[in-house]
């Protein structure tokens, strides 16, 4: 659904915004309306597969956050159901995740609440509420696009660091050590190393055995629900061997029934204020996870995604789970991929998996009395190891120094800083890199390739002494304006003879007032130096800004050129042909290839060739032709001052050829009687000759305005040899 972007009044804006809100909130109605009965079987079968995975994961991830296992199950039921109904992706599976659980733990441990208490559980639920409101607001005000500005390297670095913290945090449960929970990696390692002699061997053996079963199944039977089988085997060992009587800690029987309403009164306002940074961090990292997972699967399913709708779904999912005794949730990569690969076709696949988990909680709750904590710790350690995306890490290290810096910086920050600060640090580094990249766009001097069909960066080739071409690759906004101005000024300083500059603007998508001011400064710089600036490839949005600001009139409409004609126009109408013939040996442009290369030197400053045309007496081509016809061939004498190669390509009938260097060497031979008209290609060499003769006292000399270009443009006859 498309919504208007511009509103003339506040009332109109409000009306359109309410339409948007109603559209986002009625997503379940559209899902139900579009549902096909033929999808039901596939969704049910896929949901059962996902539920078998989600059941042990929900318990394990809740334990990462030091929350009761039922809290994870409540979150899995509620968040999965609501996130699926109000989200955009057909396959994203919302619920407890390892990274979110770790950030929740880090945030709650910094508050005045103690793990294992009712206040701690309620604080986690309130945190979910706040996270939900932040995400919902971001969706309703169209902030979905901002998540795309956070580099994937931030997520990769944070996830890897979180994997280390999760694995280290589970050592106390794997070894059954009596140490307190702490968000500090090094403090945890110190306490574990100090308490290792007190390890409980039955717990360690059971945990390692569970881990081994899990790894073997993942390797040899990847399609099996390995976590469910491993935890079931561990529970069977506890029951059959009576390991709980030997000191192995078990979860205990879970409460039956549906999720209860959260007792929000247990959380003080002071506690809510203290969790602000953590709420923001969970909201951001969760949205990044959800959108990146959705994009990954959508690339395979070819589904169009609406980021804002997904934000709304994630927001409502967390609000609902916060009200019903859960804790903050996000999209799960593992469950989402399994959901897709198991054949789920619609959002109802996730809804059905939530229903399966609810039924399992009601029917199987007593069996939790035999679930060993050490076995769950082993499963969590394996999950933590899988959080190292080795393929992505290798790609980043090989291909992008900037992303490598972001990834390593986020990884180190995750290990050393409070997690909420680590996330925000990674996000700020990512934004900083984006700003740095956009504020330093490439400003590149270009030359034609060998075919003269395209421009290329060729620093090893000689440049044109008159015309430079620069490509600006990026937005011309306030952040980049100074960089672009500096680059153009440096080019001008290094090429002082290039009085003409062609700006290639086809890669400039946006321009603001600062950018327009910079362009004005550059135009003034070149014009004060006797040159000018031309533009080619100006895009529609940039052109609109130029016309609204009046820059188009300031530069001159004839300075905006078509790509196919730009060099030709400047070559024939603007460039100094004297320099082309007598100075330049490079022959840079396609139009230069037919020019003669003269070894003769011109004994007047070449800048006079540029300036003389405007001050010497001249005659138009039509007037000259009229005089030639009226006087029956006895009109003024015509002298062509071009080189022989140019002359043979087309000249006026009954004209004398005398090249400019030769003429200037024999000025004394020019008679003072009778009118003489001098001709060249564009009128500047002939004007320079007339200028020199006038200084010697000649009153009978004229220059042909516009040269042979104007003569031929008027359709007058020319002789080609």
For residue 7, the model assigns a pLDDT of: 47
Residue 710 CB contacts under 8 Å (≥ 6 apart), including other chains: 620, 621, 683, 704
CB-based contact 639:666 (threshold 8 Å): no
Structure tokens at 87: 């989200």
For residue 291, the model assigns a pLDDT of: 83
Question: Which stretches does DSSP call E strand in 396-499?
Answer: 442-448, 455-456, 467-473
Percent of the chain with pLDDT over 90: 42
Which stretch of 345-359, 574-588, 592-606 has the lowest confidence by average pLDDT? 592-606
**H-assigned helices in 599-699:** 606-611, 621-630, 644-648, 660-665, 684-695
Residue 490 has pLDDT above 90, yes or no: yes
> Tokens 């009046």 appear where?
550
End-to-end CA distance of the chain, in Å?
68
Residue 315 has pLDDT above 90, yes or no: yes
Average pLDDT (314-325) is 96
Nearest to 301 by CA among 268, 249, 346: 346
Q: Give the separation between CA 159 and CA 413, rounded to whole angstroms.
A: 12
For residue 530, the model assigns a pLDDT of: 85
Name the average pLDDT for the chain: 87
Indicate the domain borders of the chain. 1-34, 35-433, 442-575, 606-713
Residue 533 has pLDDT above 50, yes or no: yes
Structure tokens at 571: 């070559």
CATH fit for domain 442-575, picks 3.30.750.24, 3.30.460.80, 3.30.565.10, 1.10.10.10: 3.30.750.24
Average pLDDT (159-188) is 85
For residue 517, the model assigns a pLDDT of: 95
**To 10 degrees, what angle do helices 118-140 and 307-323 make?**
160
Please indicate whether residue 483 or residue 155 has the higher confidence score (pLDDT). Answer: 483
For residue 590, the model assigns a pLDDT of: 85
Q: Residue 614 CA to chain centroid, in angstroms?
A: 51
3-class state of residue 445 by DSSP: strand
The enclosing H or E element of 349 equals helix 348-364
The enclosing H or E element of 488 equals helix 478-494
For residue 427, the model assigns a pLDDT of: 79
**Digit-coded pLDDT (tens) for 562-578:** 988 899 899 888 887 77
Please indicate whether residue 7 or residue 677 has the higher confidence score (pLDDT). Answer: 677
Count of C-beta atoms within a 10 Å radius of residue 482? 13
For residue 377, the model assigns a pLDDT of: 87
CB-based contact 210:332 (threshold 8 Å): no
Nearest to 505 by CA among 534, 482, 544: 534
The enclosing H or E element of 104 equals helix 98-109
> Tokens 């199987």 appear where?
364
Q: Give the separation between CA 677 and CA 155, rounded to whole angstroms.
A: 76
Give me the residues paired with residue 618 across strands.
703
Longest dimension (CA), the chain: 130
Name the CATH topology of 606-713. Oxidized Rhodanese; domain 1 (3.40.250)
3-class state of residue 306 by DSSP: coil
For residue 599, the model assigns a pLDDT of: 58
> Tokens 């004005």 appear where?
520
Q: Give the separation between CA 580 and CA 680, rounded to whole angstroms.
A: 13
**Digit-coded pLDDT (tens) for 589-646:** 888 877 766 655 555 555 555 555 557 899 999 999 988 888 765 789 999 998 888 8
**Digit-coded pLDDT (tens) for 363-401:** 887 877 788 889 888 888 888 888 888 898 999 999 888
CB-based contact 674:637 (threshold 8 Å): yes
For residue 492, the model assigns a pLDDT of: 92
Q: Give the separation between CA 604 and CA 608, rounded to whole angstroms.
A: 7
For residue 607, the model assigns a pLDDT of: 52
For residue 3, the model assigns a pLDDT of: 44
Give me the residues paired with residue 330 across strands.
95
**Pairing verdict, β 532-536 and 500-504:** parallel
Q: Identical fold at 442-575 and 606-713? A: no
**To 10 degrees, what angle do helices 40-64 and 98-109 make?**
30
Percent of the chain with pLDDT over 70: 94
Count of C-beta atoms within a 10 Å radius of residue 391? 8
Question: Which stretches does DSSP call E strand in 43-183?
Answer: 94-95
pLDDT band (50, 70, 90) for residue 582: confident
**Digit-coded pLDDT (tens) for 219-270:** 898 888 888 899 889 999 998 998 988 888 887 777 888 899 999 989 999 9
DSSP-based helix, strand, coil % in the chain, nearest 5: 65, 5, 30
Q: Give the separation between CA 686 and CA 695, rounded to whole angstroms.
A: 14
């Amino acid at each position: 659904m498309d919504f208007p972007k511009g509103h003339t009044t506040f009332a109109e804006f409000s009306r359109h915004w309410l339409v948007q809100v109603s559209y986002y909130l009625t997503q379940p109605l559209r899902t139900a309306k579009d549902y096909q009965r033929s999808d039901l079987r596939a969704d049910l079968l896929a949901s059962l597969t996902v539920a078998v995975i989600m059941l042990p994961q929900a318990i394990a991830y809740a334990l990462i956050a030091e929350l009761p296992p039922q809290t994870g199950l409540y979150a899995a039921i509620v968040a999965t159901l609501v996130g699926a109904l109000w989200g955009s992706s057909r396959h994203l599976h919302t619920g407890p995740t390892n990274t979110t659980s770790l950030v929740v733990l880090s945030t709650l441990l910094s508050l005045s609440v103690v793990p294992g208490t009712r206040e701690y559980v309620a604080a986690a639920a309130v945190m979910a509420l706040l996270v939900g409101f932040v995400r919902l607001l971001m969706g309703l005000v169209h902030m979905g696009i901002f998540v795309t500005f956070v580099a994937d390297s931030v997520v990769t670095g944070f996830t890897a660091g979180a994997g280390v913290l999760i694995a280290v945090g589970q050592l106390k449960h794997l070894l059954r050590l009596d140490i307190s929970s702490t968000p500090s990696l090094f403090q945890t390692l110190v306490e574990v190393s100090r308490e290792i002699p007190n390890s409980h061997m039955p717990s360690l053996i059971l945990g390692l055995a569970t881990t081994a079963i899990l790894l073997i199944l993942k390797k040899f039977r990847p399609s099996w629900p390995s976590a469910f089988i491993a935890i079931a085997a561990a529970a069977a060992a506890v029951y059959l061997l009576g390991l709980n009587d030997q000191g192995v800690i078990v979860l205990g029987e879970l409460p039956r029934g549906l999720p209860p309403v959260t007792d929000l009164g247990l959380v003080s306002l002071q506690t809510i204020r203290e969790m602000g940074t953590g709420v923001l961090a969970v909201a951001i990292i969760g949205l990044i996870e959800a959108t990146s997972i959705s994009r990954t699967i959508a690339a395979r399913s070819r589904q169009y995604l609406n980021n804002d709708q997904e934000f709304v779904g994630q927001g409502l999912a967390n609000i609902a789970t916060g009200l019903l005794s859960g804790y903050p949730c996000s999209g799960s990569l593992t469950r989402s991929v399994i959901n897709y690969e198991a054949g789920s076709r619609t959002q109802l696949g996730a809804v059905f998996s939530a229903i399966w988990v609810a039924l399992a909680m009601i029917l199987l709750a007593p069996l939790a009395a035999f679930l060993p904590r050490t076995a769950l710790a082993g499963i969590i350690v394996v999950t933590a190891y899988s959080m190292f995306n080795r393929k992505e890490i290798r790609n980043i290290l090989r291909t992008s120094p900037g992303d490598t810096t972001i990834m390593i910086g986020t990884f180190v920050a995750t290990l050393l800083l409070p997690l909420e600060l680590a996330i925000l640090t990674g996000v700020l580094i990512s934004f900083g890199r984006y700003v740095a990249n956009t504020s330093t766009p490439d400003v590149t001097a270009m030359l034609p390739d060998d075919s003269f069909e395209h421009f290329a960066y060729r620093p090893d080739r000689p440049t044109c002494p008159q015309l430079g071409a620069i490509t600006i690759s990026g937005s011309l906004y306030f952040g980049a304006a100074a960089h672009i101005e500096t680059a153009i000024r440096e080019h001008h300083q290094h090429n002082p003879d290039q009085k003409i500059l062609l700006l290639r603007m086809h890669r400039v998508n946006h321009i603001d007032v600062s950018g327009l001011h910079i362009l004005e400064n550059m135009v003034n710089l070149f014009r004060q130096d006797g040159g000018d600036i031309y533009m080619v490839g100006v895009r529609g949005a940039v052109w609109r800004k130029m016309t609204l600001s009046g820059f188009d009139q300031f530069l001159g409409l004839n300075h905006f050129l078509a790509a196919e004609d730009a060099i030709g126009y400047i070559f024939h109408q603007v460039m100094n042909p004297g320099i082309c013939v007598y100075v330049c040996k490079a022959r840079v442009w396609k139009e230069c290839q037919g020019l003669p290369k003269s070894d003769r030197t011109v004994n007047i400053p070449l800048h006079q060739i540029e300036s003389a045309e405007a001050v010497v007496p001249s005659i138009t081509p039509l007037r000259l032709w009229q005089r030639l016809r009226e006087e029956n061939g006895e009109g003024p004498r015509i002298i062509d001052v071009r080189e022989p190669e140019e002359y043979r390509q087309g000249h006026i009938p009954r004209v004398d050829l005398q090249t400019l260097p030769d003429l200037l060497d024999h000025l004394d031979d020019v008679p003072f009687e009778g009118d003489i008209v001098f001709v060249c290609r564009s009128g500047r060499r002939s004007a320079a000759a007339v200028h020199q003769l006038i200084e010697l006292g000649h009153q009978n000399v004229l220059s042909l305005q516009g040269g042979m270009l104007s003569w031929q443009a008027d359709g007058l006859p020319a002789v080609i040899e």
